[in-house]
Structure 1
Amino acid sequence: MAPSPSSPEQPVTLRERKKLRTRRALADTAVTLFGERGFDGTPLDALLEQVEVSRRTFFRNFRSKEDVALTAVKELWGTYLEVVDATEKSGPLADVLLGAMLGTLERMDEDWYRRFPPTLRLIAGSPALDGHALRHCAETQTELVRRLGVPDRLELRLLIEFFVAAWRCALDEWLPDCPPGELPALLRRSCSSMASSLALEA
């Protein structure tokens, strides 16, 4: 099983630090290489050659070519679930979902903000990668239902779907220029528009 995409603690041993450096090199090079050559048209061996690692080393860090390409996305949602776990579950759940994502965005560093936009462009340009991303999103939503600690019912699943849709709308507005400081504000605006969107009339 591949390691978790996000870890709250810095590696202590030399072996752990070397593993983290290899993992970061693979993720960084994947975004650049796939962006230049296209995800679907670039074999995994081309990435391994660039980073100078073996297939065995690669599969100790990632499950697949799709997995390494989606590193920034998985880091985001992995951290989000951690923040949800640490968040007090009181008041409207819509506020809990939004607050957890705002807290998550505060945790992400400059390197993540550099890698995230090209990752989104890779997803948009590859049906295979888009399908992988959608499956990961569905898995995350299922895990989120479990971690929120409230009964699993239709209303909860709809709320999570609405929140994910609001997040994607915020990303659509953010993606052209990608200023890091504007994403939280765009997400707040998108979430605050949900109620009025449902009230729209033909």
Structure 2
Amino acid sequence: MTTASPLRERKKQRTRQALIDTALRLFSSRGFGGVTLDELCEEVEVSKRTFFRYFTGKEDVAMAPLHDMWRAFLEELETIPADGRPLMELMEATLLAALERVADPAWAGRAALSYRLSQETSSMDAYNLHFCESTLGTVMEVLHRRLDLPDDPRTRLAGDMLVAAWRVAAGGWAAEAGDPPSVPDLAARFHAAVAALPGSLTLTADPRPEDR
């Protein structure tokens, strides 16, 4: 079996990155619906056939920075030591390791643009939710294969809470990120959101003082 040369792999990675960067630039300036796939391919000087070697469509290329982080999370989850710590703590550490792994100097800017676009574009948001559900299914498979976990709803609920904490952190970060956006700030927001999860389960539904 032949494998691609390092030079060929670097060229493929440059083409993929050019598609991501150009898509985010065009979508941010003209709106997601204001840019056709033909226009994107023409801007990068690649054919649509080449585009579809990397992405399934406009939503896929626009969400790529954030989805790359989740794919790194799945890879890290396969190797992180199963050392008896609480499951949420293990998953938090895994996500932070994945974030550090993908966060090159330009990733934060791309990720912030991607998240903002997803909040403004219904088709991107729907695509992201589908990706999230599929990824969570894979997370459950890896966790049950690697760890001695009970066959009850707690594992899935832990995964859902991890994603909820990420969405809270990433949403606030993308809306308030500085120039350039900071990966350590995103990591700190995510850690704080995870830390807030237990307290969210014990909040009481007390009436406002003026309604008593």
What TM-score, normalized by structure 1, do the two folds share? 0.90
Query: Over residues 92-140 of structure 1, what are the superposed CA-to-partner deviations in whole Å (9 max), with x where a residue is unaligned?
Result: 1011110101111211211211210000011011000110000001100
Shift of 1:142: 0.4
In the alignment, does 2:25 pair up with 1:32?
A: yes
The gaps in structure 1 that reach 5 residues or longer are: 1-10
What does residue 8 of structure 1 align with?
A: none
What TM-score, normalized by structure 2, do the two folds share? 0.86
Residue identity (%): 39
Number of residue equivalences: 192
CA contact (8 A) 1:40 1:128 kept: no
Residue from 92, 98, 113 that aligns with 1:98: 92
CA contact (8 A) 1:145 1:157 kept: yes
In the alignment, does 2:60 pair up with 1:67?
A: yes
What does residue 109 of structure 1 align with?
A: 104
The one-letter code of the counterpart of 1:164 is V
Moved over 6 A (4+): none
Shift of 1:184: 1.5
Structure 1 CA distance for aligned equivalents of residues 123 and 151 of structure 2: 30
Structure 1 CA distance for aligned equivalents of residues 67 and 150 of structure 2: 26
The one-letter code of the counterpart of 1:80 is F
Structure 2 CA distance for aligned equivalents of residues 157 and 21 of structure 1: 37
Equivalent residues in 2 for 1:191-202, closer than 5 Å: 191-202=194-205
The gaps in structure 2 that reach 5 residues or longer are: 206-212
CA contact (8 A) 2:76 2:97 kept: yes
Query: Over residues 132-186 of structure 1, what are the superposed CA-to-partner deviations in whole Å (9 max), with x where a residue is unaligned?
Result: 0000011000000011134553111111111111111111222212322211211
Shift of 1:12: 4.1
Change (3 A) 1:19 1:192: same
The one-letter code of the counterpart of 2:49 is R
